[in-house]
Amino acid sequence: MLIAGNWKMFKGPREAHAFFDGFDAPADVDVVFCPPFVSLAAAVESGRTIYAQNVHWEPTGAYTGEVSPTMLLELGVTGTLVGHSERRQIFGDTDEMVARRTRAALEAGLAVIACVGETLEQRESGDTELVLTIQVEAIAFAAGEHESLVIAYEPVWAIGTGKTTTPELAEEAHGFIKGLLDRPVLYGGSVKPENAAELLSQPSIDGALVGGASLEPDSFAAICRAASTS
């Protein structure tokens, strides 16, 4: 069971140190943290498994504001998120860009959590499976069933809204994704201590990508404990 905490644009280095001083989780759960770029070095010092929130596909070059896989590895970072819905919606990441980021990171030796998911409009129009197929197949074409690749299913309408898909719908989506690409699939979308156990007990859900609830040591530890007993 893998539990990943995405801190988004929260917690500078000082807050990162304070978080790790107060965090404790069961030893039988794989836990990774995805802090903002400025806090990666501080997070690495904790001895925890640290992923970046994004990565570029080139090792060097004139790409102002970007960070390469080799730079992350030199820092001690061992993996990265790619294709988070906020990257897709706010910053214009396309399926092709997500695939290129995925392939470059894996080839460099980073683990990857690649995010996929539909908007509310797409779900209500009955296009969930079409959207997932396009997104997952782009990643599959670029990376195949790479042993360091994990998929995260995040229904966009359930991210940061307090809304959560039912465990049954999440299980259905996870099963569909695994039919396209045989890799572990995490659930992401307003995962909280109150709903974690029910979500993580579903047979096709292999862990969680946690946003807001990963910002407090106690709430994130509670989700990790739920994973330990699922």
Cα(217)–Cα(44) distance, integer angstroms: 17
Kindly state the tokens that stand for 81. 């998120």
Q: Of the residues 56, 84, 146, 174, which is catalytic?
A: 84
Active site residue 96: no
Cα(82)–Cα(98) distance, integer angstroms: 6
Closest CA to 194 of 213, 174, 178, 216: 213
Which sign does the torsion angle of CA 157, 40, 98, 112 carry? negative
Calculate the CA dihedral of residues 69, 72, 73, 77 and round it to 10 degrees.
Answer: -130
Kindly state the tokens that stand for 63. 């790409």
Active site residue 107: no
Paired residues of 49 in beta bridges = 32
Q: Of the residues 56, 118, 146, 154, which is catalytic?
A: 154
- Residue 166 CB neighbour total at 10 angstroms: 11
- Residue 26 CB neighbour total at 10 angstroms: 15
Q: Give catalytic residues, as residue numbers.
A: 84, 154
